[in-house]
């Protein structure tokens, strides 16, 4: 008997169907961010990052041009098992001859058509989109949609509107809705004199932005945050603001698991939102002491997040996106390791006796529940993972190929 057959039998004895788990896993889309490959710089003129987020490290081979980024994405995605979407930020516009002439408030679909062509060519499930409200001269005093300067506020409202229009085209191109995630860096380093004003302006800006959009092909989401670097005292778009905004406007919340106090966990927020929302979007990341956006690893909180998606039958309600950026290691490897970690966590959750454990909880049999939870940890998960990789034509050793790519391609980028 091979490893998989023996694992299958052991799982079967626990009432768990490995075939079903494998079939489900390959249908769960993961939206992989485009911004790991170039340290979140983009194509539209920025030379550094701002807005309280930070990439650290200077490992060789950062993608410096659109062509390099596309090549790196293609390499990285070829080593990622499962169904993937591509998550694009507006700062990754292919401006061509419009460079220096057309600003973010006037981008159109033509500046992003290449992303759609590319995603189709490499066989992706779709494209998601994000307005880029940072790393731009129109961010004034750290503010965008909440700015008291009407010119600044209008500029960003228009940027948001353009992005919703572009996203509708992206959605249509795949006949599937495109998630448009709104994250703004707005906030203050020190104690503000007015906490309400900026929030009322943000509310007004969002209402203007969202006054019309394609309801069939666009899913707008808002991403809250507790603080950023240099924005420690006050964040306009905090959790309470956006959850109430989303609930009252019928849009979606996006939970980034780096955006809360260290003892607060997103795994526990997912079921709370599922009680009220049809869809919940995620930015899966790995915060180390702060919103550091480390590469996602197969760790306890990630497993817990995956459990909440799987056992609540929410694989089509929770839109899984990745959000991390590490410039201190090979960026392609960073990409692949994070995506595989997410897939592992989902498979791990799919292979748990969720029904039986829930029954124990409902009976109040917490002793047996604890024993069952510990027992489940020791089931031969790795053998089923190996089988998944084999069926996806993906090798467990992805690094050799990346090392070769580093030698041949990345090292030549001086």
Closer residue to ligand RNT (CB): 25 or 167: 167
Closer residue to Zn ion (CB): 253 or 347: 253
**Least distance (Å) between residue 294 CB and ligand RNT:** 12
Residue 294 interface partner, choices ligand RNT, Zn ion, none, CB cut-off 5-8 Å depending on type: none
**Least distance (Å) between residue 101 CB and Zn ion:** 30
Q: Which two tokens stand for residue 246?
A: 């989303």
Residue 8 interface partner, choices Zn ion, ligand RNT, none, CB cut-off 5-8 Å depending on type: none
Residue nearest to ligand RNT (CB): 183
Task: Say how many residues make up the chain.
Answer: 414
The answer to whether residue 256 forms part of the interface with ligand RNT (CB under 6 A) is yes
The answer to whether residue 256 forms part of the interface with Zn ion (CB under 5 A) is yes
Residue 130 interface partner, choices Zn ion, ligand RNT, none, CB cut-off 5-8 Å depending on type: ligand RNT
The answer to whether residue 186 forms part of the interface with ligand RNT (CB under 6 A) is no
Q: Which of residues 112, 183, 335, 405 is near ligand RNT by CB under 6 A?
A: 183
Active site residues: 183, 223, 225, 256, 259, 283, 291, 293, 323
Stretch that binds Zn ion, among 45-53, 88-96, 244-252, 316-324 (CB under 5 A): 316-324
The answer to whether residue 323 forms part of the interface with Zn ion (CB under 5 A) is yes
Q: Beta partners for 234? A: 188
Residue 201 interface partner, choices Zn ion, ligand RNT, none, CB cut-off 5-8 Å depending on type: none
> How many chain residues interact with ligand RNT (CB under 6 A)?
11
**Least distance (Å) between residue 180 CB and ligand RNT:** 12
Interface with ligand RNT in residues 158-177 (CB under 6 A): none
Say if CB 250 and CB 261 are below 8 A apart.
no
φ, ψ at 294 (rounded to 5°): -70, 160
Stretch that binds Zn ion, among 22-30, 46-54, 319-327, 349-357 (CB under 5 A): 319-327
Interface with Zn ion in residues 261-300 (CB under 5 A): 283
Q: Which two tokens stand for residue 120?
A: 């189709």
| 3-class SS letters over the chain | CCHHHHHHHHHHHCCCCHHHHHHHHCCCCEEEEHHHCCCCCCCCCCCCCCCCCCCCCCCCCCCCCHHHHHHHHHHHHHCCCCCEEEEEEHHHCCCHHHCCCCCHHHCCHHHCHHHHHHHHHCCCCCEEEECCCCCCCCCECCECCCCCCHHHHHHHHHHHHHHHHHHHHHHHHHCCCEEEEECCCCEECCCCCCCHHHHHHHHHHHHHHCCCCCCCCEEEEEECCCCECCECCEECCCHHHHHHHHHHHCCEEEEECCCCCCCCCHHHHHHHHHCCCCCEEEEECEEECEEEEECCCCCHHHHHHHHHHHHCCCCCCEEEEECCCCCCCCHHHHHHHHHHHHHHHHHHHHCCCHHHHHHHHHHCCHHHHHHHHHHHHCCCHHHHHHHHHHHCCCCCCCHHHHHHHHHHCHHHCC
How far is residue 302's CA from residue 284's CA, in Å, rounded to a whole number? 8
Residue 53 interface partner, choices Zn ion, ligand RNT, none, CB cut-off 5-8 Å depending on type: ligand RNT
Q: Which of residues 18, 31, 55, 130 is near ligand RNT by CB under 6 A?
A: 130
The answer to whether residue 242 forms part of the interface with ligand RNT (CB under 6 A) is no
The answer to whether residue 283 forms part of the interface with ligand RNT (CB under 6 A) is yes
Closer residue to ligand RNT (CB): 22 or 295: 295
The answer to whether residue 53 forms part of the interface with ligand RNT (CB under 6 A) is yes
**Least distance (Å) between residue 28 CB and Zn ion:** 19
**Least distance (Å) between residue 178 CB and ligand RNT:** 15
How far is residue 227's CA from residue 388's CA, in Å, rounded to a whole number? 39
Helix axes 113-121, 150-174, angle to 10 degrees: 30
Interface with ligand RNT in residues 198-227 (CB under 6 A): 223, 225
Interface with ligand RNT in residues 348-407 (CB under 6 A): none
Q: Which of residues 4, 11, 35, 188 is near ligand RNT by CB under 6 A?
A: 35
Is the torsion defined by CA of 270, 274, 277, 281 positive or negative?
positive
Contacting residues toward ligand RNT, per CB under 6 A: 35, 40, 53, 130, 183, 223, 225, 256, 283, 291, 323
Contacting residues toward Zn ion, per CB under 5 A: 256, 283, 323
């Amino acid at each position: 008997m091979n490893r998989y057959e023996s694992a299958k039998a052991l799982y079967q004895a626990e009432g768990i169907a490995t075939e079903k788990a494998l079939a489900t896993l390959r249908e769960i889309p993961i939206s992989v961010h485009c911004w790991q490959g170039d340290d979140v710089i983009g194509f539209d003129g920025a030379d550094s990052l701002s807005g309280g987020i930070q990439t650290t490290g200077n490992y060789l081979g950062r993608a410096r041009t659109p062509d390099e980024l596309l090549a790196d994405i293609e390499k990285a995605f070829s080593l990622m098992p499962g169904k993937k979407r591509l998550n694009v930020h507006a700062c990754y516009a292919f401006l061509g001859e419009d460079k220096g002439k057309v600003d973010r408030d006037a981008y159109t679909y033509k500046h992003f058509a290449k992303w759609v062509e590319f995603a189709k060519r490499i066989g992706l499930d779709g494209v998601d989109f994000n307005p880029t409200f940072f790393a731009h001269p129109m961010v004034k005093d750290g503010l965008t949609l909440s700015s008291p300067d009407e010119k600044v506020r209008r500029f960003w409202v228009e940027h948001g509107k353009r992005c919703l229009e572009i996203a509708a085209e992206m959605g249509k191109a795949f006949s599937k809705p495109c998630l448009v995630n709104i994250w703004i860096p707005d906030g203050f380093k020190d104690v503000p004199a007015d906490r309400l004003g900026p929030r009322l302006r943000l509310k007004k800006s969002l209402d203007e932005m969202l006054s019309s959009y394609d309801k069939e092909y666009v899913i707008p989401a808002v991403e809250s945050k507790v603080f950023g670097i240099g924005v420690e005292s006050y964040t306009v778009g905090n959790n309470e603001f956006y959850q109430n905004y989303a609930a009252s406007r019928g849009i979606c919340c996006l939970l980034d698991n780096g955006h809360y106090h260290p003892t607060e966990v997103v795994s526990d927020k997912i079921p709370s939102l599922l009680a009220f929302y049809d869809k919940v979007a995620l930015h899966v990341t790995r915060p180390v002491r702060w919103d550091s956006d480390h590469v996602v690893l197969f760790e306890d909180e990630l497993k817990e997040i995956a459990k909440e998606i799987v056992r609540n039958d929410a694989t089509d309600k929770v839109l899984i996106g990745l959000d991390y950026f590490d410039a201190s290691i090979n960026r392609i490897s960073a990409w692949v390791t994070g995506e595989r970690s997410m897939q592992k966590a989902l498979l791990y959750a799919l292979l748990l006796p969720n029904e039986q454990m829930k029954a124990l909880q409902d009976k109040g049999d917490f002793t047996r529940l604890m024993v069952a939870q510990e027992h489940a940890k020791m089931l031969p998960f790795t053998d089923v993972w190996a089988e998944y990789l084999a069926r996806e034509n993906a090798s467990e050793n992805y690094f050799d190929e990346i090392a070769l790519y580093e030698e041949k391609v990345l090292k030549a980028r001086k």
